[in-house]
Amino acid sequence: MAAFLLLRRQVGGALPRLQQPYARLSTAAARQDTLDAGCTGSKEDRGNKNRWRELPPFAPLDITAAARAILRGKGGEAEETSSSTAIRWVRRCCPDLPASLVQKLFRLRKVKKNALTAETSSTDASAEQFQLKRVSAKDYLLPGDTLFLPVNIQESSVAEKTRKFDNRNEIDFLRSLEIYKDKAIIVINKPPGMPVQGGVGIKNSIDVLAPMFEENSSEAPRLVHRLDRDCSGVLVLGRTQLSASILHAIFREKTADALADLHGYSCTYLDTEIFHVKGTQQVLQRKYVALVIGTPRHSKGLLSAPLAKVLLQDGKSERLTVKAGPNTTSVQDALTEYRVIESCPQGFTWLELFPLTGRKHQLRVHCAEVLGTPIVGDYKYGRQAHQNWSPLPAPQAIEEELLKKRRLPFGLVLGGGSVVEEQPQLHLHCKQMVLPDISAAVQGLQSEDADRDFSDLEKLSFVAPLPQHMRLSWEVLKSVNK
């Protein structure tokens, strides 16, 4: 823990002293009585009817340093950690509580902080008395500080969430998407057509429906990366604030390492043989499968093409485009490695795509504008290529099951959208993702081991099968090739 958490010995022994009153209590009820009896302030605060929820002791964590060590498989050196205000710590520990409710609790002075006073007993022995004091939203916390909230606030919040998601069919459907689950993460196979984030006109999205993935938990899973609405495949959610923060930082560090590895190359296409990828790219890997219109000039390569937003003619919509030059503003460098899986005589090509950076619409823009092969079903970046679209005939040998359409919860439809349709769906799927074992990493960060070595972290590989419309397209193109 020396690399990331402020060690207990660094706070002058204060933290062990804070924990001693709890160590002497044999049951949770006894500890609660001590909190109620020792609470200072109004009569209401001191009453036994007012129960308290104890948050974890404040222990600032350098998330970026932790992510770096996990990616590189090393331990870390002690680094100065950042402080936090009381309201930020409450939001981090209680992401299930609405921000407006948290602010209201501070305004009503319902948030308390631990305090210790020294008293002299009848035998002149020094004794410690545990007390609670009011804390304001902007008060800075010290390592070991513990905050307390009225427990009835948490109970009502959980009850409201339970009432909101009571459709058993919808819950069962969402949980059927799970590929993997442990204490730190949930991995799902996102179906095409389901938004990851909410927005104008979007009622159901993964971030809104995330509580459905949990059973009897007050903490909802959090997004750590994105997939486009019409894209499908592996999507990872963090089950805790700490695991989500570490994953955010890992994805961010992966992008930074890939750009540092570029060594000043500015050309659009690079042969992968001359581009040396750091070890961090091997620890975190994403593989997409796409069906594109046309065939790339090279069978494999690395695309280095910066992306920038441009406003469309209607003055409201925007899209991304490849843009470079000294006068370009708000440009983000983007790197994509690709490999041809199979070329089809009908003018289609199956590609494997490996994004080394995580930019919005990166794969779609690189395929359309750099390779000149837009993804099938991408009407935003490949509209012109779809103007003369002609659906392929469905061979008689195709499985009948692949041709069926079925309605799913949340307005989704299973089936349709293949190359035999007049209007195909987006053929882009996150097939595989490799991540370090975040659960083990979190356990290591929370342990007492000051010399934690992350080199022994297991790599977890998650694979999502192709959606039905892409499987049908694969079978159709394969049968025509015979």
158-162, 319-323, 326-330: least confident range: 158-162
pLDDT level of residue 14 (50, 70, 90 thresholds): very low
Query: Which residue from 192, 147, 187, 194 is spatially nearest to 170, judged by alpha carbons?
Result: 194
User: What's the rounded Cα separation, in Å, for the pair 126 and 24?
Assistant: 16
- Token pair of 352, please? 């494997």
pLDDT level of residue 481 (50, 70, 90 thresholds): low
The pLDDT assigned to 327 comes to 52
pLDDT level of residue 75 (50, 70, 90 thresholds): low
Strand pairing category for 222-223 and 232-238: antiparallel
Mean pLDDT within 399-416: 88
Query: Which residue from 44, 149, 26, 27 is spatially nearest to 86, judged by alpha carbons?
Result: 149
**Positions marked catalytic:** 228
The pLDDT assigned to 235 comes to 98
Radius of gyration over every alpha carbon of the chain, rounded to an integer in angstroms: 27
* E strand or H helix at 111: none
pLDDT level of residue 462 (50, 70, 90 thresholds): very high
pLDDT level of residue 12 (50, 70, 90 thresholds): very low
pLDDT at 84 over 90: no
pLDDT at 390 over 50: yes
Q: Which domains does the chain have, with CATH numbers?
A: 245-266+273-480 (3.30.2350)
- Token pair of 461, please? 């590989």
**Which amino acid would we find at residue 101?**
L
Mean pLDDT within 190-194: 96
pLDDT at 8 over 50: no
pLDDT at 287 over 60: yes
pLDDT level of residue 79 (50, 70, 90 thresholds): very low
Burial of 151 per CB tally in 10 Å (0-12, 13-18, 19+): middle
The pLDDT assigned to 297 comes to 94
Rounded to the nearest 10°, the torsion over CA 107, 109, 115, 118 is: 140
Angle at 265 between CA 259 and CA 271, to 5 degrees: 100
* Location of structure tokens 């103007």: 387
- Token pair of 78, please? 């002690």
The pLDDT assigned to 361 comes to 95
The pLDDT assigned to 26 comes to 34
The pLDDT assigned to 104 comes to 87
Higher pLDDT pick, 8 / 189: 189
The pLDDT assigned to 28 comes to 43
Mean pLDDT within 129-143: 83
Spell out the residues 6+ positions from residue 455 whose beta carbon is closer than 8 angstroms to its own: 73, 74
86-90, 133-137, 217-221, 373-377: least confident range: 217-221
The pLDDT assigned to 4 comes to 39
Mean pLDDT within 385-391: 93
The pLDDT assigned to 315 comes to 65
User: What's the rounded Cα separation, in Å, for the pair 232 and 86?
Assistant: 39
* pLDDT tens string 194-231: 999 887 788 889 988 998 898 777 678 989 999 999 99
Higher pLDDT pick, 354 / 482: 354
The pLDDT assigned to 95 comes to 63
Identity of the highest mean pLDDT range in 243-257, 298-312, 350-364: 350-364
The pLDDT assigned to 449 comes to 61
pLDDT at 130 over 70: no
User: What's the rounded Cα separation, in Å, for the pair 67 and 307?
Assistant: 26
Tell me which long-range contacts 101-104 makes (C-beta under 8 A, separation of at least 24).
101/153, 101/157, 103/137
Task: Return mean pLDDT, the chain.
Answer: 78
Burial of 434 per CB tally in 10 Å (0-12, 13-18, 19+): middle
What pTM was estimated for this model as a whole?
Answer: 0.74
pLDDT at 446 over 80: no
Strand pairing category for 428-436 and 232-238: parallel
The pLDDT assigned to 314 comes to 72
